[in-house]
Structure 1
Amino acid sequence: MAPHFLEGEIPNEKPDKAAVHIIPVPLENTTSYGSGTATGPAAIIEASKQLELWDGSRMPALSGIHTAEPVDCSKEIAKTLDRIEDAVAYALECEALPLVLGGEHTVTLGALRAMKQKYGRFGVVQFDAHADLRNTYQGSPFSHACVMRRAMDDLRIPVFQVGVRALCAEEADYRKSQSVPCLDARKLHLKGIPTQVLPPDFPERIYITFDVDGLDPSVIRATGTPVPGGLSWHDVLTLLERITAGRQVVGADVVELAPTPGDHASDFAAAQLAYCLLGMSLPRD
C-alpha cells in the first residue's frame, strides 16, 4: 500500500465512505525550467504526516479522507489525461470532493474534463505566478503553460486569475480579448485584498487550481519557475476565505511542487496549503 495523506493521524478511509479523495498525479511531461514535479505528490503526502489535524477553526480530516493510488503517468499525455479524468470522475461518483496533487499543471485539464461532465457550468479560480494562457508551448498544446487556454478554449470554462506576475504578449492579448478577470500580484500589493474578490456574475460552483509558484518563493521555493513578488501565506488564506464564502467548491488541486533535497519547508507548506484548501472547500457545519 502506498502512503496516504495524514498517515499516522487518520486511517485511509474507504472510497465510498470518504468526504475527500486525494488523487496523486506524478506527471512531469513538459516542465520547461526546473524539474522534479513527478515527485511532488509523494513529497506532499509524506509532509502531511507532520500536519496538525486542527486547521485553526475545525478538523476537516474527521470528515474522512481517501488517498487513491497514484495515477499512472507512463503513457502519452492523452492517455494520462484520460486516467486523471477517470480518477476524478470516480471521486465524484462517490460524492467526494476531489483534491488532485500534481505533478505539473497540465493535470488540471484532466480534472476539469470530469468536472465538466458532472456539473456543466462552473468556474475556475487559478492561483499562479503565470497566466498559462499560451495556445501552444514548445510544440505542445498540452504544456503546463497552456492549461488555462485549454480550459477556456476547449471546455468553455470561465477563469479568474489570482497572483499572476509573469506572462507573455500573446497571453496579455488573449486576456484582453477575452476579458479574463484577474487580481494580479502587483495590484494586490498596491491596493490590498478586496472584500469581494470574485465578480458578482462568476459561477457559484468553483474549482480551485493552485500552482504553488503563486506563493512568493520565500514561502515555497521548490517549484520549477519561481517568480519574485508572489503572494504571502496569510494573504492566500484571506483570499481563499473570501473566494469560498458563499460558493460551492466542487474540486481543487495543488500542483507544481518540485521537491529539493533538504528543503522540507516547501514540502510542508504545500501539504499545509492542501489541507487548508480542503478545510475551506468542504461544506461548513
Structure 2
Amino acid sequence: MSPTAGSGRPTLLGVPYDASSSFLRGTALAPSHIRSALRAASSNRSTEDGRALDTLGWDDAGDLELPPGTEARSCIEAGVARLLATGGRPLVLGGDHSVTYPVVRAVARAAAPFTILHFDAHADLYDALDGDRYSHACPFARIMEEGLAARLVQVGVRTLTAHQREQAHRFGVEMLDMQAFAAGVRPALPGPVYVSLDLDVLDPAFAPGVSHWEPGGLSTRELLTMVQAIEGPIVGADLVEYNPLRDPTGLTAMVAAKLLKEMLAAMTRE
C-alpha cells in the first residue's frame, strides 16, 4: 500500500460529463446543484457526529473543463492525477458513472491496492452497451480488467442480467444485492477503500432525481449508516448519476448534499 493511501486533504472535484449516458443526459449539470444544496440556508453545516463542516479540513477544486466527447476520459484522469500530486484526496462530483473508470485509474497509481465499495442499483459490468465499451454501464468491467482494485464489493444491485452475472463471476465480484441486504448481510471492508456512490442505489421514493428509476432500493438512512460505518481509510470517492433535470423540487440535490457531508466526515475521521 502506498504510504499516502487514505491521507491527503479531501478535495471536491466536479466532473461535468454525461456523454456516456445510455438513456438520458443531464448529469453533467449535477456538480453545481449539489454545491448549492450543500450551502442551502434550510440546513446547517454540520455532520451527524457533531462536527462543523467548515472545521473538517477539506477543499473544493472547482470543476474540470472537459471537451464534449469521449476524449474527456483522459482529461478526467489527468485532472485527478494533478489533484493527487498536490496533496488532495479526490471526492468527485459526477457526472455519469463512466467517470469512475478514469478517476480510479489515477487513484490506483497513488494508493493501490484498495477495495472498491460500489453502491448502485446496477452492476455496471457490461463488456459493452450499444457498442460502447466506455458507457456508464461498463466502468467496473474496465476497472477489473486492468486490475485497478484488489476487490470490488457491490451493494444494492437489483437489475442483474445474465451477461452481468457472468461478468461478476469472471471478475470475482462480491455482490450484496438487495435481497441479501434485506436479509441482514453487510460487507467486511478492512484496509483502504474507494467509495463509488451512484444515487440510484436509493429507492426512487428517496431520490427521484436520477436517470434510471429502479424501485426496491436502499433508504437514505440505510445508505448513510453504511457510509458512516466504513472503517478503513478512504483513498477517494465519487458521487454520481444525480440528474437535476429530473429533480424539480431539489429533493435529490439535498440528499446528495447530505451524503456528501457524511462522506467528508468519514474521510476526515481520525
Do they superpose with TM above 0.5? yes
Give the 4+ runs in structure 1 shifted more than 6 A: none
Q: Give me the whole-angstrom Cα distance separating, in 2, the residues matched to 1:133 and 1:63.
A: 35
Q: Give me the whole-angstrom Cα distance separating, in 1, the residues matched to 2:34 and 2:222.
A: 21
Query: What is the aligned counterpart of 1:256 among 226, 241, 247?
Result: 241
Query: What is the aligned counterpart of 2:72 among 73, 76, 80?
Result: 80
Q: CA deviation at 1:261?
A: 5.2
Residue type matched to 1:233 in 2? T
Moved more, 58-67 or 42-51: 58-67
Query: What is the aligned counterpart of 2:130 among 106, 131, 138?
Result: 138
Extract unaligned runs of 5+ from structure 2. Answer: 1-7
TM-score by length of 1: 0.85
Report what 2:162 is aligned to. Answer: 169
Residue type matched to 1:258 in 2? N
Query: What is the aligned counterpart of 1:219 among 187, 199, 206?
Result: 206
Aligned-pair RMSD on alpha carbons? Answer: 1.7
Are residue 279 (structure 1) and residue 265 (structure 2) matched? yes
Report what 1:186 is aligned to. Answer: 179
SS of the residue corresponding to residue 45 of structure 2 reads coil
1:255-285 Cα deviation digits (max 9, x unpaired): 000013522111111111111111112232x
Q: CA deviation at 1:198?
A: 2.1
Alpha carbons 1:193, 1:239 under 8 Å: kept: no
Residue identity (%): 30
Report what 1:49 is aligned to. Answer: 39
Alpha carbons 1:116, 1:155 under 8 Å: kept: no
Report what 2:4 is aligned to. Answer: none
Q: Give me the whole-angstrom Cα distance separating, in 1, the residues matched to 2:147 and 2:172.
A: 17
Q: CA deviation at 1:110?
A: 1.4
Moved more, 271-280 or 66-75: 66-75
1:133-168 Cα deviation digits (max 9, x unpaired): 001111111100001111101244221100000121
Q: Give me the whole-angstrom Cα distance separating, in 1, the residues matched to 2:174 and 2:238.
A: 20
Q: CA deviation at 1:60?
A: 4.1
Extract unaligned runs of 5+ from structure 1. Answer: 1-17
Report what 2:111 is aligned to. Answer: 119
Report what 1:11 is aligned to. Answer: none
Q: Give me the whole-angstrom Cα distance separating, in 2, the residues matched to 1:61 and 1:253.
A: 20
The number of residue pairs the alignment matches comes to 258
Are residue 240 (structure 1) and residue 233 (structure 2) matched? no
Alpha carbons 1:31, 1:224 under 8 Å: kept: no
Report what 1:3 is aligned to. Answer: none
Query: What is the aligned counterpart of 2:89 among 94, 97, 102?
Result: 97
